[in-house]
Each structure stands twice: as C-alpha cells, then as structure tokens.
Amino acid sequence: MNRITIKSPGQIEKMRVAGSLVGRTLEYVGSLISVGVSTYELDREAEEFIRKNGGEPSFLGYNGFPASICTSVNDQVVHGIPSKKVHLRDGDIISIDCGAIVDGFHGDAARTFLVGNVDESTRKLVEVTRECFFKGAEQAVEGNHIADIARAVEAHARQHGYGVVRDLVGHGIGTDMHEPPEVPNFTDLRIGRGVKLYEGMTLAIEPMINLGTWRVVLADDGWTCSTADGSPSAHYENTVVVKKNSYEVLTNPQS
Ligand code: MG
Ligand code: MG
C-alpha cells in the first residue's frame, strides 16, 4: 500500500486480532528469556507460537530477512538476526521485535527485556523508552499531526539525556507491514508537521532510544543496526489506531 489508508471498523477488528497475537507472542517469548538461552531458540518458539495461533510471521522472508523475530542485544538497536551462537548473558538487555499477519492484516510490536541483573542506567533507559511510546501514543488523536507524536517522544528522551535514533522510524501499518506515513521519533524542519491524523489511521509507533549517541551503524550482515558508540539501546513499539479523542493500542500494552 503506497498511500495512507483509513481503516474501517471491520478492518480495525481484524487488526485487533493480529495485534493481540503479536502481543501474546511477545509475552510468551519474554517468559522464556533467561541466562543461557539462544536467540535462535527464541525465534523458533516465536514462530511456532504465531503459527499455532493462526497467524504467519510477517518478518520471515521480508526483504530476505531470515527469521520470524528480530533479536537485538545490548548495543544493537534493531533488526538483529537470531543465531545459535548468541546466548543471553546476565546483565544483557534484548529487544524483540515481532510481526504477524492474520486474515490479511498485520500487527507489529517490540519490547526490550532485561536478562538477570541489569545495571541501573540501562534499566532506566528501558523504562524511559517504554514511557516514550506512551508519550507519543497520547498524541495519536484526530486533528493532531505526525510531528506531535515525534515531538512528545523526543522531548521525553531528551529530558533524560538520551540519543534518539534518526535513521529508522515508525510507520503506517495495515494490509502491508510498512505503509505510509513515516512516524519519526524526532522533529525536523525538513519533515515539518507531517500529515494530519484522522480516526481509523493505524500506526506503528516505535521509539528507538540510545543511552549515548543517536548515531547508528549497519553491520556487514546488512541487517543489524547498532549504536555507533557501543552504548545500549532500547526499543518499544505498539500498533495503535487513531481515534477522535483517544487512541487504542492493538498489540497488548500491558506487556
Ligand atoms: Mg516492529
Ligand atoms: Mg515497526
């Protein structure tokens, strides 16, 4: 879909089903996280859970991506590839990004999980990144613009001195996993206010926040995006629907 779409109540109901599956998958995979587990095992479990519950993993094969979830550990920001060689260690953080399609509609969400005893400053980063999502989502109401979401996310992250990733952004979502408009986590004169929001628009809002610099680098695998200074990074995402005076999270906000 190369244009912004307004979803009907029936389509939003389908997105609730897909979103709920994504939320439950993340909850399930989160419950498996412990010292020693490999990111490959987490991917196997996620794929099985999605299929068993009537969905298909959106990420598998997307532009050639080889797995059903992205597993990004510590300084990896997003798009980490699950591997038999990567075993979680005490003190790690791991961002898991998951997408599923059910009956033609996608859900997309991410959580950053703590592994064992994580140091205070990194725990805080994870907590504030989650808060950034909700600050942004509160702006996802009819009549606002995309930049209102971006400004709210950015302001909360900056207040804590964190770097806000600029190279990757959130997005519209529906029958395609990535639809317009882009949903940045930063404001920029070049971008301006962005498009106006209307009830029925569905957006993946996804702050990617770094403890250090906002700058990121791409690994040789062509996927894994890491912080340029090696500092930890957190990611928190939900699929939301814009309403008249509120927003609704479709991917299980409790987790
Ligand atoms: Mg995602
Ligand atoms: Mg996304």
**How does pLDDT run across 152-181, given as a tens digit for each residue?**
999 999 999 999 999 999 999 999 999 999
Say how far apart CA 77 and CA 232 lie, in whole Å. Answer: 8
Taking the centre of ligand 1 as the mean of its atom positions, its distance from the CA of residue 108, in whole angstroms, is 5
Alpha carbon 134 to chain centroid distance?
Answer: 13
pTM for the model: 0.97
Q: What percent of the chain has pLDDT over 70?
A: 98
DSSP secondary structure code for residue 87 in this structure: B
Q: Which ligand is nearest to the CA of 65?
A: 1
Tens of pLDDT, residue by residue over 102-150, are 999 999 999 999 999 999 999 999 999 999 999 999 999 999 999 999 9
Taking the centre of ligand 2 as the mean of its atom positions, its distance from the CA of residue 251, in whole angstroms, is 12
Which of 177, 28, 181, 190 lies closest to 107, judged by CA? 177
Superfamily of domain covering 9-249: Creatinase/methionine aminopeptidase superfamily (3.90.230.10)
Taking the centre of ligand 2 as the mean of its atom positions, its distance from the CA of residue 250, in whole angstroms, is 13
Q: Which ligand is nearest to the CA of 99?
A: 1
Give the least confident one: 97-101, 156-160, 188-192, 205-209: 188-192
Taking the centre of ligand 2 as the mean of its atom positions, its distance from the CA of residue 171, in whole angstroms, is 6
Q: What is the mean pLDDT of residues 194-214?
A: 98
Q: What is the mean pLDDT of residues 26-37?
A: 98
Q: Is 80 exceeded by the pLDDT of residue 217?
A: yes
CA dihedral (235, 69, 19, 118) in degrees, to 10, reads -40
Protein residues placing their CB within 5 Å of the ion ligand 1: 97, 108, 110, 237
